[in-house]
Amino acid sequence: MFRFPAGQTEPPNEIVVHAEIVHRRPKIFRCTAPEDTVAETNTSPSPAQDQSPKHPMLRRILLIVGPVVAIAIGLWIYFSGGQYVSEDDSYVGAAAVAITPQVSGQVIRVAVGPNQPVKEGDLLFEIDPQPFQIELDQAKANLAQASEKLAGLVLTYKQQLASVAQAKDDVTFAQEQSPTSRCPICREALRRQAARSIGC
């Protein structure tokens, strides 16, 4: 940007453009007025000169070393525990198994403590036996009642067999004693009477 010398509002008749390299990177060119107007212009540095780095070597080192340090810090955090959770008062239950009883009921006693190792055959907990004992007593009573009923039925069966045998003997005796036993009609009547007497 071109600035007019102080007090001058119109451009000079001749403007000579001088190009000089202010810095090697990036290349910045500065336009100057003729030598007679140079003395009158403001000698403050241009904004391009203010923005140029004063220590290019430091900048180059920071561009190389900065990312390397950031990557090194990230890798240290990752490998030193960033991927693992750690606590002082916790434990990993890797050797834990789920235990389910074969019967359901209320647990009245636990025989093991937390994190206590156990082996096969150890008592772990006790289930309230009272409901099962009531069911067992009821089943025993039902079995005894059924056994008594069966014994009564067997006795009745044996009595009926004895009655049938007695009726057969009576029929045979009556046939031998009766004068009409030779008559087929009378024999049929005697059989019916014997059958009625034994309940067949």
pLDDT tens digits, residue range 144-173? 999 999 999 999 999 999 999 998 888 888
Residue 22: per-residue pLDDT: 47
pLDDT at 110 over 60: yes
Question: Is residue 74 in some structural domain?
Answer: no
Using only C-alpha atoms, what is the Rg of the chain?
62
Q: Among 55, 56, 52, 3, which residue's Cα sits nearest to residue 27?
A: 52
The DSSP call for residue 181 is: G
Question: Is residue 94 in some structural domain?
Answer: no
- Element containing residue 87 per DSSP (H, E): none
Question: Is residue 84 in some structural domain?
Answer: no
Tens of pLDDT, residues 12-44: 555 555 555 444 555 555 656 555 554 444 555
Helix then strand count (H, E) for the chain reads 5, 2
User: What share of the chain in percent tops pLDDT 70?
Assistant: 58
Question: Is residue 149 in some structural domain?
Answer: yes
Question: Is residue 120 in some structural domain?
Answer: no
Residue 1: per-residue pLDDT: 52
114 pLDDT tier (thresholds 50, 70, 90) = confident
When mean pLDDT is compared across 54-68, 122-136, 148-162, the lowest value belongs to 54-68
What gap in Å lies between CA 148 and CA 142, rounded to an integer?
10
Q: Among 47, 40, 18, 22, which residue's Cα sits nearest to residue 31?
A: 18
Examine the fold and report which residue of 31, 52, 73 is the final residue of a domain before the chain moves on. 52
Give the total number of structural domains in the chain.
2
Question: Is residue 165 in some structural domain?
Answer: yes
Residue 174: per-residue pLDDT: 78
Task: Decide if 194 contacts 170 (C-beta within 8 A).
Answer: yes
Strand-strand pairing, 107-110 and 125-127: antiparallel
Question: Is residue 187 in some structural domain?
Answer: yes
Specify the amino acid at residue 179: P
For 41, the domain range is: 1-52
Residue 95: per-residue pLDDT: 63
Question: Is residue 40 in some structural domain?
Answer: yes
Both tokens of 184, joined, read 């087929």
